[in-house]
Amino acid sequence: MLICKTISEAKQILTTEQKNRTTIGFVPTMGALHEGHLALIRKARSDCNFVVVSIFVNPTQFNNREDFEKYPRIFESDIEKLRQSGSCDLLFMPNEEEMYPEPDTRYFELGYLEQIMEGKYRPGHFQGVVKIVTKLFDIINPHKAYFGKKDFQQLTIIKKIVRDFNYPIEIVECDIVRETNGLAMSSRNLRLSEDERNKASIIFKTLIQVKKWIDEKYSINEICQKVKTNIESVSPFQVEYVEVVDSQTLMPVNDISQHRSIHCCVAVFCNQVRLIDNIEILL
């Protein structure tokens, strides 16, 4: 596995790969790698001849300084995991100066997609995500890029950006990987105590009831309320939002009969740690 920290080194390595007509797969991450990331990387390995992983804790996507500072940084163990996976050919690990030598003042028109859910509660978050992902796409020029469905809204926005800017990149969507108790894998889980991690199973246990509540003809408002009450019945969980949206447009759902697939999405605080999760319901 090659490791490089500068854009010029990465481009040099990738130019050779491109000349060899290699299929390049790319997995962008912020490190603190877990099974969810490794599943993306293994999928990239099975699809492509050359797999690039990036690790960069991107400051522009954090609207909360404390969240940025407390974001786990365990780069040595990340490198070890990547080596052991045998699935990564190039690890790109730039520093802040390399990625943002000067402030990136670009503004991306994301419209409605950044006004709801994560966009509403984390103002500027998706502008930061799109800034870094477009920079990384421009450096790596992958054929395929891999994203997890846990960040469902991020995935929808990345697909829009790829369409809007005509990036010749296939976005590969990968299923949420969960702990045995159902908790969606996330780097932020490292900030939970063992007891909190056990109790956090309430999030997924609640989400899997949504389909049943739909079948029982509860209204969307009632379902959202039930999701909130159920999750908050376990201390110290506090729900920030529950939304039921159309899986394609992310528009709020009122009349279920008008939709083929919907997502129920939640953001939940466990003390200072913010967790997100979602479930797709095919109708």
- Name the strand (E) or helix (H) holding 15: helix 7-19
Residue 174 contacts ligand PAF per CB under 6 A:
no
Annotated catalytic residue: which of 37, 125, 143, 263? 37
Residue 133 contacts ligand PAF per CB under 6 A:
yes
Q: Nearest-CA neighbor of 243 among 204, 207, 208?
A: 207
Residue closer to ligand PAF, measured from CB, 66 or 195: 66
Residue 132 contacts ligand PAF per CB under 6 A:
yes
CA terminus-to-terminus distance, the chain = 44
Q: Which residue among 25, 58, 94, 247 contacts ligand PAF (CB under 6 A)?
A: 58
- Give the whole-angstrom CA distance, residue 54 versus residue 29: 6
* Nearest distance, CB of residue 271 and ligand PAF, angstroms: 22
Max Cα–Cα distance, the chain, nearest Å: 58
Cis before residue 236, ω within 30 degrees of 0? yes
Q: Which stretch binds ligand PAF (CB under 6 A): 2-10, 102-110, 129-137, 191-199?
A: 129-137
Q: Which residue among 129, 162, 262, 270 contacts ligand PAF (CB under 6 A)?
A: 129
- Give the whole-angstrom CA distance, residue 110 versus residue 265: 19
Q: Which stretch binds ligand PAF (CB under 6 A): 25-33, 163-171, 244-252, 269-277?
A: 25-33
DSSP 61-95: G-S-HHHHHHS---HHHHHHHHHHHT--SEEE---
Residue 143 appears among annotated catalytic residues: no
Residue closer to ligand PAF, measured from CB, 28 or 94: 28
The residues annotated as belonging to the active site are: 37
Using CB under 6 A as the criterion, which residues of the chain lie in contact with ligand PAF when the complex forms?
28-30, 58, 61, 129, 132-133, 151, 154
